[in-house]
Structure 1
Amino acid sequence: MSHPGTSIKRVRTVVGVLSLVLFAQTACWLGYDVAERGVDGAWTVWTTGTPSGLSATSSLDLGLAALQLTAGWAALRRGRGAGGLLVTACAATVLFRLPVLWYLLLNSPSNPWFGMLTGASLDVVGLTCVFAVLVAAVLGTLLVRARQLENEIAEAEAAAEAAALHGGAIRPVKVTATASGAVLAVLNVVYIFRNAITAYRVGPHGLAHLLAGRGTGRAVLAVSSPWQWTCLTLLCGAGMLLAARRRPVADGFALGLSLFMVPSSFTDLWGASVAGTLFQVPAASGQNLLEVVGGLAMAALIVWEARQDRLRPLGDGIEFPSASTPLPGTGRTLLSRSPSAAPRSGTGPVPSATAPAPVPAAATAHGVRTADGGPAEG
């Protein structure tokens, strides 16, 4: 049986590679839109969401690609927050690729899912999404295994530290956990509120059709707004719980949500400002602005905290007894010795604790003098 430390290194490498495989699937279709429409045409698709014909990607894929790439890079570099980033990348990939599977299954020549729109092939894009979901499932399984190995290592290290040190410092509550939890809570309220308003306007039956996404998208990988809000409600709720309980993956999870939300919201704000509709849809603009500002604030706090932890001394928070501190129950210090201690063989008698220490001689230009200035005796 391999050592847990060796196994966790292998698992980290594998999950990093799998995250990069997910990034390759997303980047492939982003590149397809750029190749088919040019940079300006693809940017128009991502900022307006109303392409001519059927595109492969939407603005959400920009954030998903950034998340998958960062998670894979952090895992391979063993960077801070890699676990949380990988969890977010895995969950977001499954949640935002699953709808394409039922697009593929419910599509038929007599009743095309995207109507008369032509462009990217639903069959080809759908098959790559099946592959992405399978890879994400393997990634999730390995993340669970990695968590088990990390727990084994942590228990062994804790036992070793407990044997060497009796007690330890209590970790203080970090501002980052509170701030990220507050931002995610506000975003969660916004998503729930928007879904509730949509259900009130169109009714439960209409909301079900919107969640399914039939007739609402102009990109194969796009999802409907109610589905997006529902998924983000789940992700932000999980982030709130992790932040409240101060789990080790909380920072990485919040950073992953920032990477996922900010690119999409920024492109939506850009498109609305160019089209002059920024203030005509205050709910959408307010949500996008909150996602950009809140996401950047969370990312800045997490990066700042990481820099502070890197600069903090390794021994910070652990107090060691000084040489003059009395040892418990003895009344003696670390430098004192028991008067009755027997001398070691060949060392001679132990000097008395009250005997004056020998005075070192100081060499001068006129001869040898003692430290108090008197002449040295021959």
Structure 2
Amino acid sequence: MGILSLALFGQTAFWLLYDIADRGVAGAWSVWASGSGTGLSATSSLDLGLGFLQLAAGWATLIKARTAGGLLLASCATTLLFRLPAVWYVLLDSPSDPWFGDAKGPSLGAVGGTAIGAVATALVLTALLFLVRHLENEASSPYILRGAGPRPVKVTATTSGVLLGVLNIFYIGRNVNTAFQVGPNALAHLLAGKGAVRSELGVASAWQWASLTVLCGLGMLFAFRRRPVAKGFSLGLALFMVPPDVAEVSDYVTTGVLFKVSVDTAQTFLELLGSAAVIALLAAEAAHNRRDRRPEDPPGAPAPAPLVGPIPADARLTNMADSG
């Protein structure tokens, strides 16, 4: 599964490098930070975050990290949501009605073809995640197996759940406000991306907010129900959000609007600072767990046999899932 996740990263990285080769580092960064530049680019700033997430998921799976399950799930869900638009871009494009009008860029067929491959790979990877559920007991938390009862609520789960809830309010509110401003029919066109994007793998803001609503909703559900994949999923969303937000902040600095109060800047800083806080909390928790690990329990050692009763159904994990 790690190889498949790295294959997803390969598709994203290829088009990021294409933009760098086509426009130069400064030109590509200008496109990612502000959306400026002539013609169509292949990628947007969201692809920086997507590539970072896909790489982290693949690497975590290969080294069998405890966050691998959640990272893989986040990678698959995010890839599906942010690559599906490119699929209908290429399918609905025609010589008589070009999807991107007169704008010129890389071959839409080539970009769309790789997007179709990424969607198919993400679906296969998702299916494999469900197929490995027969190994779930082997990855059960030592805390549960020692008969200590349900997992305790950790500050990381609470923090990530609250952050995702606040972000969801932003995303839902922005789409509702857009619907009131332009009407439902225009909002549908914005969701589809017709005339609203400047990159062939890009998505319209309305689609971005709707997709993040779904992702944050899943993250909230996992966090508040203390699901084993919650930690990795929250980490994955944080890794996805940080790179595009850094690009946006750099544009704010360049244009002199860093301290100008607006909904866009508020959302950007909330995503950036909140994601950084989640990453820091997870790193601190991992360091604490390493210090507390018993010398006789080396990494990767099988968990001890349970002392009392069967494992509760909601405590079972996939082989690649988190234990916290």
Q: CA RMSD in A?
A: 2.2
* Greater helix share, structure number: 2
**SS of residue matched to 1:51:** coil
Note if contact 1:51-1:218 (Cα within 8 Å) is conserved in structure 2: no
Task: State the percentage of identical aligned residues.
Answer: 54
- Quick one: structure 1 residues 31 and 281, their matched pair in 2 at CA, closer, same or farther if it must change by over 3 Å? farther
Q: Which residue of 1 aligns with 2:81?
A: 95
TM-score by length of 1: 0.75
Match of 2:138 among 123, 140, 153: 153
Match of 1:192 among 133, 156, 172: 172
Q: Which residue of 2 aligns with 1:25?
A: 11
Residue deviations 1:255-307, cap 9 Å, x none?
00001011111111211221234456711111111100000001111111111
Q: Which residue of 2 aligns with 1:305?
A: 285
Structure 2: runs of 5 or more not aligned: 298-303, 305-324
Q: Which residue of 2 aligns with 1:248?
A: 228
- Quick one: structure 1 residues 259 and 171, their matched pair in 2 at CA, closer, same or farther if it must change by over 3 Å? same
1:234-273 equivalence runs, <5 A: 234-273=214-253
Q: Which residue of 2 aligns with 1:289?
A: 269
Deviation at 1:178, TM superposition (A): 0.5
Q: Which residue of 2 aligns with 1:34?
A: 20
Tell me whether 1:62 sits opposite 2:48 in the alignment.
yes
Q: Which residue of 1 aligns with 2:92?
A: 106
Q: How many residues were matched structurally?
A: 297
Counterpart amino acid of residue 22 in structure 1? L
| Distance (whole Å) between structure 2 residues aligned to residue 300 and residue 261 of structure 1 | 15
Larger radius of gyration: 1
Tell me whether 1:175 sits opposite 2:160 in the alignment.
no
- Quick one: structure 1 residues 132 and 189, their matched pair in 2 at CA, closer, same or farther if it must change by over 3 Å? same
Note if contact 2:67-2:232 (Cα within 8 Å) is conserved in structure 1: yes
Q: Which residue of 1 aligns with 2:130?
A: 144
Residue deviations 1:215-263, cap 9 Å, x none?
0111000000010000000000000000001111101000000010111
TM-score by length of 2: 0.87
Q: Which residue of 2 aligns with 1:47?
A: 33
| Distance (whole Å) between structure 1 residues aligned to residue 254 and residue 208 of structure 2 | 24
1:326-341 equivalence runs, <5 A: none
- Quick one: structure 1 residues 158 and 288, their matched pair in 2 at CA, closer, same or farther if it must change by over 3 Å? closer
Deviation at 1:168, TM superposition (A): 3.1
| Distance (whole Å) between structure 1 residues aligned to residue 136 and residue 143 of structure 2 | 10
Deviation at 1:113, TM superposition (A): 0.7
Q: Which residue of 2 aligns with 1:120?
A: 106
Q: Which residue of 1 aligns with 2:320?
A: none
Larger RCO (alpha carbons 8 Å, 6+ apart): 2
